[in-house]
Chains A and B, each alone.
Chain A
């Protein structure tokens, strides 16, 4: 007992001597610190969870002072990482809304404190939604073992599962989507022996068998109509091939694909010849916020996989009448990517109707494994398209989704290690200029280092998602409804 006490005392004193006490920097650097995650000069919402971080390089102690408005400040010191007390952080952000925090980081190296140049964290007044929903999946490309769809409260570090495939053994859960960010209107697919599309409308769950005689596959990529009465889906005949070159890994492409609209009330898939052409690949549908246009990607058919790198998608639009579920009779091209030898994926209109954000790659539609994939913004008023350099990196930026007020967007990026996608959140100001994005904060700064799953399809939600896995199981067992097709 006495040994333990002495050990603890020595350890405690060691901690005090090693990393406690006043910082008297012997060295003041003009450089800003290199942090992980990189929170230097980022813009954050006032309700975000504490931005815990560590500095790069070796040190025996780290010290950070966060100074906000009205003389409020927080100081944190540790031997390894800066973990900010949640309640102090929350108060500081609330007090600093619309302004910025001044952050001063010092590290102790060889018994000498070194202070870096201060940086700013801008605290936006614009609110962000309640949380994110994403799929965590090992980047194993084609088969699945353990995976799930999870939700994360953005104000805390709480992550909880929406559904995990361990509950439906041998299955895969994918393609979750929401009516805007409404947690009571949700869609996801369950693939495997017990498969189906789970559709939750105003909290009521249904399971659908979506393969019809006239469509080539089950429903794949979804997008909700703002009214909640329709969902647009692609139907795809997909194949997967592997690269031999070390810089590339895998290609997924469609041998054929079409777009249909599902009428929720009639349990009917609506098609039009214009979106189901054999000579054309149509995919990634999304509705405009007024519900009168259907955006989608469209490419000339090529023999696959031989000509996989010649498939290039343009961003197109067709009129849609939500009154009767009918389509327009012409297709407009909004962004002619083929003209610049590029290809568009994931067009996502902002809920305020001002922009469409999409991913641009050299070819194909599987942007997630394209290192060159970057985010682009199409201004629907001016018709101008620009690369969002403020948020792109030299690695993949792919899936993205808007907050309900169109001022924040979340996107997945492989910039950290080139292998695992991580969720970054960025602010878009009133002029359409994005601010430096920040990585979704975690309680532990080693979290991303140790996580062997990718964040897939991050989507904002305005509240907690409630899915009863028992009901999913029961519906897939005995309550599945077959979708019909109408052209």
Chain B
């Protein structure tokens, strides 16, 4: 290895510190999601499953490290350390190939590309590990001085590189050949077979690994853009090589150029790859998963996103706090689409992944199970710790102990879900349900009904009928009707579940009731029955006056009444994107 000088230590520390700060402060929830969509088990079976595809070593090590993303700060720490190590190895490779005094600076370029690629949910650590592994193989190869040992090493690496590191290994001949050429040991008999073998192996093995040709040449990456990493490395190795002769005369220029390129590359990469809006949605999602509804509500207020998923998590948090009808219109409401996310082939995998949350919340366990199974199946590697945990919870709630045990046993083979799983297994064995489970079981229907997967209304009505004290289901039903502007059904169901339950009408219900009562020509006695507070009645009178006076002008009403149901009823429209 090349000795690291003190300036390079600054680069390394700067890189690790800045990437840590970026991922910890600006992008932590993406990293949580990356852990949630994998399931790392400490079992032989699980280890052997990596041999079904290329890049088993990169995959296993990458996924091993990804499990630490579960910890707060763990993701940023692991990722910044990996990027630091990657820089260290890239620097050694650049130095070995170019003997440039500025290898440490040139090495920043590919690492910043990898950094920005990590902003994407589907760019896993295994891609970085594969890249590092290939560079390490090159460094090992470059230390071989004996001609026959180099032949043997090249043959060995050519045969096993794809198996160990995946498509990153295609980089190996592109750096090892020039190295050999420079050292005058690049015989054609040595390198033509190596090139042919290395570049044809993915094609030859694609059927064995059940990959399409494209998948075989980019595996383990999901997207073609991950090829950028080796391309940038090659590009800057060439640049470093070309500038080598003049770098001592223009050292300042080289430093500024390399740092400039790295900065621009990082900014451009983050600008094109990172989605800070999605990070906010994931913040709402993850805080829901962590069981922090107060934080979800606070974040939702802060972000003020106009997005179906953002509304979906916000509504769930409000329902958990019993505030859904009170605060519903304080947030963007895309009709009922912000209450329940559809589970259809048209949805993306992340939307399917989180779609079970609301069914679980309201006690529709069969649909929660269906969605969670699909969430697991549609997650990128079909094994999601979050979905397995949810499936365990669902089966604990339904009393299906053998199915619950299956999922809990799986989780007990993990590092970070083990404690929770073992606690639940102990609970199962003792037969004494904890509070959360007792409460969850109270929501579950005792009788049966058949419903189509997208017939949410029937399901909500059924759940409310089964357990009128299941306030989350009742509020979801009433809000569903209100958001779809079905006031007649709203009033019928309100009468049934709120009025008869002697519950006081929350803000939005009172507003909707007033509108419905007036529209249906209800008598004063009928209105009194609903015990609507005088302030709401007065405000309704003001609204109708203003509405009439302005002939329904949205601008005249939006200032004072924007968060009333009357305003929503008159003016809310679905925008088609």
Contacts and interface: CB of A to CB of B under 8 A. Distances in A.
Interface in A231-259: 239-246, 248-251
Interface string B544-557: 00000000000000
Interface of B: 41, 43-46, 48, 207, 210-212, 215, 343-345, 349, 364-367, 369-370, 373-374, 376-378, 382-383, 388, 395, 398-400, 402-403, 405-406, 409-410, 413, 444-453, 459, 462-463, 466
B45 A245 contact: no
Given A245-B448, A246-B398, A416-B402, A164 B210 contact: yes
Contacts of B383: 452
A450 interface: yes
A487 interface: no
A38 to B, nearest CB: 14
B406 A417 contact: yes
Contacts of A246: 365-366, 398-400, 444-445
Contacts of A241: 450-453
Contacts of A242: 366-367, 370, 450-453
17 contacts: A138-B373, A145-B349, A146-B377, A167-B211, A241-B451, A241-B453, A242-B370, A242-B450, A244-B445, A244-B448, A245-B445, A245-B449, A418-B402, A446-B45, A447-B45, A450-B43, A450-B46
Nearest to B211: A166
Given A161-B210, A166-B211, 11 more contacts: A145-B374, A148-B210, A166-B210, A246-B400, A248-B366, A249-B369, A417-B402, A418-B400, A419-B406, A420-B406, A468-B207
Nearest to A192: B345
A137 to B, nearest CB: 9
Contacts, number: 127
Contacts of B212: 166-167, 169
A371 to B, nearest CB: 11
A143 interface: yes
A141 interface: yes
A412 B345 CA distance: 28
Interface of A: 138-146, 148, 161, 164, 166-167, 169, 239-246, 248-251, 305, 308, 416-420, 444, 446-447, 449-450, 452, 468-470
B113 to A, nearest CB: 27
Contacts of B365: 246
B366 A143 contact: no
A442 B108 CA distance: 48
A449 B403 CA distance: 10
B374 A140 contact: yes
Contacts of B207: 468-470
A452 B382 contact: yes
A282 B369 CA distance: 32
A444 B44 contact: yes
Contacts of B369: 249
B405 A166 contact: no
A466 to B, nearest CB: 11
A241 B445 CA distance: 17
A166 B410 CA distance: 25
A140 B345 CA distance: 12
Nearest to A160: B208
A249 B366 contact: yes
- Among A141, A143, A449, A470, the most chain B Cβ lie within 10 Å of the Cβ of A143
Contact of B45 (A138, A418, A450, A468): A450
A418 B406 CA distance: 10
A240 B41 contact: no
Contacts of B463: 244
Contacts of A243: 366, 448-450
- Among A416, A450, A470, the most chain B Cβ lie within 10 Å of the Cβ of A450
Contacts of B382: 138, 145-146, 452
Given A246-B444, A470-B207, A449 B377 contact: no
Nearest to B373: A140
A366 to B, nearest CB: 12
A245 B451 CA distance: 11
A364 B342 CA distance: 27
A139 B373 contact: yes
Closest 4 CB pairs of A and B: A245-B448, A246-B398, A138-B377, A145-B377
Contacts of A419: 395, 400, 403, 406
Nearest to B347: A143
A207 to B, nearest CB: 18
Nearest to A309: B450
Nearest to B212: A167
B409 A449 contact: yes
Nearest to B462: A244
Nearest to A469: B207
B374 A143 contact: yes
B449 A244 contact: yes
A470 B216 CA distance: 14
A251 B450 contact: yes
B448 A248 contact: yes
Nearest to A306: B450
Contacts of B450: 241-244, 251, 305, 308
A167 to B, nearest CB: 6
A271 to B, nearest CB: 31
A167 B395 CA distance: 33
Contacts of A164: 210
A248 B445 CA distance: 11
B215 A244 contact: no
A166 B373 contact: no
